Structure 1
């Protein structure tokens, strides 16, 4: 209990350090939000056919001062950080510089898209990894084990974005077939479709991004499953069960499965975090899915600090909490495990 309490208390300085480090780095990088806004003003003036000097040069100092005041950049760096942290304690992430909406609203609007991609990817990852890992353990050393291992190594070595691009080339109107949509989570006429039509449209848009995520993410989970089952297969209670005449299938699924799944279930929170906030980042950009990953990417390009730090704060907090939950699952599934002193009873 004291270990878990320490882990939760450790979240506070860890979260603070990560936010502080990123805050300093982003504010030291040239090309902040004021420069981005000036560039937009200049571009708008050119599109209207007016003189850029009229828009900027004559009153540039005034414009810059007003933008700094508007963005709160006229305050000392320490004061900006202090104000930001104080607001973040109540999950007030402020207002976007360029989108004209509150960051919390933008994150909540983007979250369902990221959840759709992440949760379905995780379901199929486990759906592929667990049966495949069990078969590899049971048939360890066979041709099946060898060739599936080769395929897993290749899938793990190829980056997610490359898989996504290959799937788009082959199946989304590239050089070969045009079976699947190339962008978005819904079609433009989604609102006019029937219930069944909406479901089919939703699933059809998810096929390629989920496939790309699963193809690059199932290998680690498969190896975890295989190793967990191999470890259980070598234990004495399995030998005893065979000696008593239990059927191999009964031993595998009634006795071995429950013990081997400890590692997989405890790994579930970390897999969820990786799929939701790490693995789907590039996929959202490639398939133009308006999730948190795409929102954060555009915010980085625009130096939209409220979105950048708000999403970073949320991601980091969720990641740290999920790490603690993972430890809790270990002890809940197997009470013999104790983290303090790394002892097992």
Structure 2
């Protein structure tokens, strides 16, 4: 196991370098870079979004007309574009080795502090989505497997498929119209994670207000996840129920409850456990851009999208670097969870 861990950790370095190199190379050819956008803003020819529509060289040439060459050279130097691309990439790698993600072009603050400031929203959405998905979907999948073919199984499957078929953003709009004061009832707040007077509330009031704000966005996010986890749990249970060791356990006189939860459920959890770390970490950081936009939640999803539109390259590459590390570590944890769940697995190839 130790040898396998060292090998996987060593492979993470070239993988991470490859991700950064490819992303950095693609960025060099993206039109409407930060220099071009600032030139357009200084010339009063529109916002950064308008500048992003044209080609990089053409936009810069048009923006140069009437602009002081010394001022343009200073802008390039401020953004670091006075240096060749290989040198800029090397300097970026040296900063990232110290976990210095640089400074945002647009927000004028460190990328690390910017990401940290957006974490409360993404963590709130991710944690509650993850917990509700697994705490509800796994028991529901077990119940559907035990009652396979019954009316309960058919009705619950129909409801799950409807939830899976409706996109989260569309469901969010429906929830806002129904319960957010659109055309029917105003039961839940429309935006944010807390109310304006949240600081003056009691502890119980703060918790209640926070949870009340999360009802609609979390409901919109978990609707599609329920079906996937529930069906996976049910199919895993059904596959284990048909195996020979279940018949053997019944022949020995073991109770159905013990067979179901001591043997079948433990083996059926293996497919879920392999994806458990990835789902847990992903729930923190992936979030949903559309959900955050719909409910006016300023999280990492919205930050990433705005950074791409504004060509805020330090934020784009810094977030990519951080999430790539998290993704690589998560895949390693998934393999380790598989080994813990199935003792027959040996990474070194030794017999079980």
Contact 1:299–1:307 (8 Å) recurs in 2: yes
Contact 1:225–1:264 (8 Å) recurs in 2: yes
In structure 2, the partner of 1:282 is: 290
In structure 2, the partner of 1:130 is: 138
Per the alignment, in what secondary structure is the counterpart of residue 331 of structure 1?
A: helix
Mapping for residues 286-297 of structure 1, pairs under 5 Å? 286-297=294-305
Gaps of 5+ in 2: 48-62
State how far apart, in whole Å, the 2-side matches of 1:158 and 1:45 are.
37
1:338: Cα distance to partner? Answer: 3.0
CA deviation map 1:307-339 (0-9, x unaligned): 111111111110111011000011122221235
1:344: Cα distance to partner? Answer: 7.5
Mapping for residues 192-271 of structure 1, pairs under 5 Å? 192-271=200-279
Contact 1:288–1:294 (8 Å) recurs in 2: no
Which residue, out of 192, 196, 214, partners 1:188?
196
In structure 1, the partner of 2:52 is: none
State how far apart, in whole Å, the 2-side matches of 1:317 and 1:207 are.
31
CA deviation map 1:91-110 (0-9, x unaligned): 10011111111111111111
In structure 2, the partner of 1:5 is: 6
1:247: Cα distance to partner? Answer: 3.1
Give the count of matched residue pairs: 336
Contact 1:225–1:260 (8 Å) recurs in 2: yes
Contact 2:122–2:287 (8 Å) recurs in 1: no
Q: Mean Cα displacement is larger for which, 310-319 or 148-157?
A: 148-157
Question: CA distance change for structure 1 residues 158 and 23 in 2, over 3 Å: closer, same or farther?
Answer: farther
CA deviation map 1:269-291 (0-9, x unaligned): 11123323334333222222222
In structure 2, the partner of 1:52 is: none
**Structure 2-normalised TM-score?**
0.88
CA deviation map 1:138-157 (0-9, x unaligned): 11222332333333333333
State how far apart, in whole Å, the 2-side matches of 1:231 and 1:210 are.
31
Gaps of 5+ in 1: 47-54
Contact 1:42–1:56 (8 Å) recurs in 2: no
Pairwise CA RMSD: 2.4
Per the alignment, in what secondary structure is the counterpart of residue 59 of structure 1?
A: coil
1:164: Cα distance to partner? Answer: 2.1
Question: CA distance change for structure 1 residues 303 and 243 in 2, over 3 Å: closer, same or farther?
Answer: same
Which residue, out of 106, 117, 121, partners 1:113?
121
State how far apart, in whole Å, the 2-side matches of 1:202 and 1:174 are.
21
1:45: Cα distance to partner? Answer: 10
In structure 1, the partner of 2:98 is: 90
* Structure 1 residue 63 corresponds to structure 2 residue 75: no
1:40: Cα distance to partner? Answer: 3.3
